[in-house]
Amino acid sequence: MRPLTTVPDILGFGANGPSTMNMKTHFPFFRWIASTLAARWARRTYVVILFSLLLITTAARLRSYFMARKIQAVLHGLADIRLDQTTEEQLTKMVPYLTKKDWRVGGISHRVYYVQISNESDAQILGPVYGLDWSGHLADWLGNRFISFAASLLVQDGKVSQIEYGLANHWERPQYAGYTGYIVSARSVHGFWLARQSGFGVSSVDDESPQYRPRGGQKGLYVIYTADAPSKLTERAFHLKLGCFWSLRVCKDAREIAPALWQDAQAIQAATYKLLISEKCPD
């Protein structure tokens, strides 16, 4: 009597498990894929790809690391500048990577020293590629982070009269202190006024800290300070953490890059609120 054919037999499973012969017969394509992926030349290809990715990400992160080191060196020098006191000769010794520029406007001579540290050329060449979401995430994962840092110092009568800097984590124009384009920026002034000597309002926060005014949040932080602001405060404007430009963590939060500015902004707002509810404010 002929034995009955069961469902497991049809699917290629015998009494003791899968039938190799039936697998080869019924699934030749999957067997070919498995054998191809496990071949010696395929394994070598995997190793080459992984090694290439390791070299690319290492080179990209090292490049960003050395750029961040240069930026930190400039910031360290800027923090020691004292407006209307530091001489031009002292400036050139305190701040590295400076370039001098002279020009005349209305018969008056102007002199500026500036620093530009950036990999903007990468974004300009690969702009269409960086515009794609997946490519941007891939570039970040490989350690190719956009960095643009600019600083300038105005010299008048042989002394530093003004300082400003800006740090950008993406390509955008315009880029200047306190406006879109920079994730962290700072600028010194000699006073706050409007054109034609018109009146202007002073907020409660500005009244609490008139000489040192940090503003912003996650997407951007900036500070404007006067020439007579305490140096202990102004130095904090130059304390930035740039590890996110070369580590696994991506630079997206200004509060992590400039924690000192964020803490100061929060402290000034808290002090302002405390004073407002104390009923000690004048009318």
- What pLDDT, in 10s, does the model give residues 83-135? 999 999 999 999 999 999 998 877 777 899 999 998 877 655 455 444 444 44
Q: Phi/psi at 172 (nearest 5 deg)? A: -165, 150
**Range ranked top by mean pLDDT from 142-151, 174-183, 198-207, 228-237:** 228-237
Look at residue 278 and tell me whether its pLDDT is greater than 80. Answer: yes
Cα torsion 172, 173, 178, 182: sign: positive
Span 211-234, mean pLDDT?
93
Look at residue 243 and tell me whether its pLDDT is greater than 70. Answer: yes
**Average pLDDT of the chain?**
79
Contacts by 116-121 with C-beta closer than 8 Å and gap 24+? Answer: 116/149, 116/150, 117/67, 117/70, 117/71, 117/74, 117/147, 117/148, 117/149, 117/150, 118/147, 118/148, 118/149, 118/150, 119/63, 119/64, 119/67, 119/146, 119/147, 119/148, 120/146, 120/148, 120/171
- Please give the residue that has the higher pLDDT: either 34 or 228: 228
Look at residue 190 and tell me whether its pLDDT is greater than 80. Answer: yes
Among 72, 71, 80, 91, residue whose Cα is nearest residue 231: 80
Dihedral Cα 152, 157, 159, 163, nearest 10 deg: -30
pTM of the model: 0.73
Q: Residue 180's pLDDT is what?
A: 60
Domain spans of the chain, in order of start: 49-190+203-273
Residue 154 token pair: 């105005």
Among 186, 189, 191, residue whose Cα is nearest residue 164: 186
Task: Please write the tens of the pLDDT for every residue from 158-175.
Answer: 999 999 999 998 766 555
- Please give the residue that has the higher pLDDT: either 139 or 8: 139
Among 201, 202, 204, residue whose Cα is nearest residue 275: 204
Q: Residue 131's pLDDT is what?
A: 47
Q: Residue 66's pLDDT is what?
A: 92
- 134-154 in b/e form (b: 16+ CB < 10 A) is eebeebbeebbbbbbbbbbbb
Q: Residue 188's pLDDT is what?
A: 94
Task: Say which residue the tokens 């290492």 belong to.
Answer: 58
Cα torsion 40, 43, 48, 51: sign: negative
Look at residue 221 and tell me whether its pLDDT is greater than 80. Answer: yes
